[in-house]
Structure 1
Amino acid sequence: MTATTDGRLPDASAGGGPGSTATGGRLPGAVAAEWTKAWTVRSTWWNLLGAAVLMGLACLQLAIYTVHANDNDDPADDKGVVGAGTIAIGAVDLVQFVLIGLAMLLITSEYSTGAIRATLQWIPRRGEMLAAKTLVAAVIGGLAGTVLAAAGSLAALPLLGHWGEFEFPTWLGDVLAVGLYMAVISVFSLGVGALLRSAVGTLIVIFLVVLVVPASLQASGVTAMERAADFMPAVAGAAFMRGESDSYPPALGLLVLAAWAAAAIAAAHVALRRRDA
């Protein structure tokens, strides 16, 4: 290795030798690396395809159900005229688990294959590695959620017929709300995955926290438990997207969901600093 003119060896982190160019490092470089990894594995594309198919089918089913409920002889289940965006919001209950799986795999797949060791060699600052994965999970989840909500709601609109309503500002707000929810729940999933390191364990915990526990609390008939369910992540997210909660305004629902995501990332960061890869 040749010394520089002032007698020092060239900095390897800056490119190393003659003709080399620094391509970035620290957090921007870590984000670029994680973004590239995310899009060069088949699981990302399969998850997105699965989410697209599920969103389409769920939106079409909800549209058909809405028309049937309005046209039958039982006035008790009438839905009335519904906004196109609310159809996509209704489909989130199913579709979210596909994108949750995608966010989780960004970290758990590396633990299962041992690739996490290489990742930490290239990004030795564990906080930066986690921050990079968090940003990538949020962007992919948010973009996928927004695009799928837009496509699914527009596909369902013809089936709704005169029972469907399309007002662009309202529709756009609903679609963006779905995207924001998907971004934050993806961050929560990544945090749980980094904390547990196991894909199976992460799926079980998220399924319990997102679906089973809130449903059990809401069905308990105990007022305190029903109120506690309002502060579970998916319930808070639904309150944010639908704006129909009696417990708090939509903005607070988003803050509750964000608090769950922040807590998961914080716990994952502590765990990453204290244990071996």
Structure 2
Amino acid sequence: MTAANTGRLPGAVAAEWTKAWTVRSTWWSLAAAAVLMGAACVQFAIFTVSANDNNDPSDDKGVIAIGTIAFSALDMVQFVLIGLAMLLITSEYSTGAIRGTLQWMPRGGEMLAAKTLVAAVIGGLAGIVLAAAGSLAALPLLGRWGELDPLTWLGDILAVGLYSALISVFALGVGALLRSAVGTLIVIFLVVMVLPASLQSNDITAPAADFMPAIAGAAFVRGASEAYPPAFGLLILTAWATLAVAAGYLTLHRRDA
């Protein structure tokens, strides 16, 4: 009996969840993200202490909330989570397994919704766990220059998790649109890294950079934008993720597997 015949999205989500955890790429990606987060948090902690203890006052970072260490590491770790999310769908197109998936779930929208939910949950939980572990690992290294306020730390960790969930959904949507791992990576790298930097290099186009997903995400997670409040950054990032999935759905609806 197909998921379409049962009419239950939970069955489709359960199937996609099981598939995600039965492939080695998921485990390898999470392991790589953990190593990268740990190494980056340790590096940023050492840099913070060194900057505060040297003889140049202009380098001083002062006492920092430990959650901000995870913010800095997220710039690198996010690309591992992006790769994990896009593989949930691009790997099926590359192997032809998507045909079997669509036979079991003939309604493409149901299949894409299930994959989107799985990508969001895995990305979000991974972001929370990695940020929590990385920032706590950095705390002993920070010493007197690190501050652990439980409520502030919890808010920082949850913000990382929400960002990770949304950027994972964005990656899945682009993957559904392009159906190619290489093409998806190139487009996401351009949109997340290259295009914002290019826009910011010119005074005329600089305001447009504030509406790119990574810049909006930084405004939400770090409060790093003077253009709008963090909540608006979250709204922009959510819009990017939603549009990517919608574009993926239209492609799926119009083209054969």
TM, length-normalised to structure 1: 0.90
Bigger radius of gyration: 1
Between the two proteins, what is the percent identity of the paired residues? 77
Letter of the structure 1 residue corresponding to residue 231 of structure 2: A
Pick aligned residue for 1:113 from 95, 107, 124 = 95
Distance in 2 (CA, whole Å) between partners of 1:110 and 1:89 is 32
Alignment of 1:97 with 2:79, yes or no, is: yes
Tell me how large the CA RMSD over aligned residues is: 1.3
Letter of the structure 2 residue corresponding to residue 263 of structure 1: L
Pick aligned residue for 1:233 from 209, 213, 218 = 213
Please, which runs of 5 or more residues in structure 2 have no aligned partner? none
**Counterpart secondary structure, 2:106:** coil
Task: Mark the CA change 1:162 to 1:123 in structure 2 (over 3 Å): closer, same or farther.
Answer: same
Distance in 2 (CA, whole Å) between partners of 1:114 and 1:244 is 43
**Counterpart secondary structure, 1:193:** helix
State the 1:26 CA deviation.
3.0
Distance in 1 (CA, whole Å) between partners of 2:46 and 2:230 is 28
**Counterpart secondary structure, 1:246:** coil
State the 1:216 CA deviation.
1.5
Render the CA deviation track for 1:143-164: whole Å, top value 9, x for unaligned: 0000000000000000001000
Render the CA deviation track for 1:99-139: whole Å, top value 9, x for unaligned: 00000000000000000000000000000000000000000
Distance in 1 (CA, whole Å) between partners of 2:225 and 2:61 is 18
State the 1:209 CA deviation.
0.4
Alignment map for 1:33-52 (pairs within 5 Å): 33-52=15-34
- 2:37 corresponding residue in structure 1: 55
- 2:179 corresponding residue in structure 1: 197
> Contact conserved, 1:141 with 1:183, CA < 8 A, in 2?
yes
- 1:266 corresponding residue in structure 2: 246
Greater relative CO (CA pairs within 8 A, separation 6+): 2
Task: Mark the CA change 1:13 to 1:160 in structure 2 (over 3 Å): closer, same or farther.
Answer: closer
Residues paired across the two proteins, number: 256
When you count helix as a share of all residues, which structure comes out higher?
A: 2
**Counterpart secondary structure, 2:205:** helix
Task: Mark the CA change 1:239 to 1:148 in structure 2 (over 3 Å): closer, same or farther.
Answer: same
State the 1:235 CA deviation.
0.5
Alignment of 1:254 with 2:238, yes or no, is: no
Distance in 1 (CA, whole Å) between partners of 2:12 and 2:249 is 16
Please, which runs of 5 or more residues in structure 1 have no aligned partner? 1-11, 15-21
Pick aligned residue for 2:144 from 162, 185, 188 = 162
TM, length-normalised to structure 2: 0.97
Pick aligned residue for 2:166 from 166, 171, 184 = 184
> Contact conserved, 2:2 with 2:104, CA < 8 A, in 1?
no
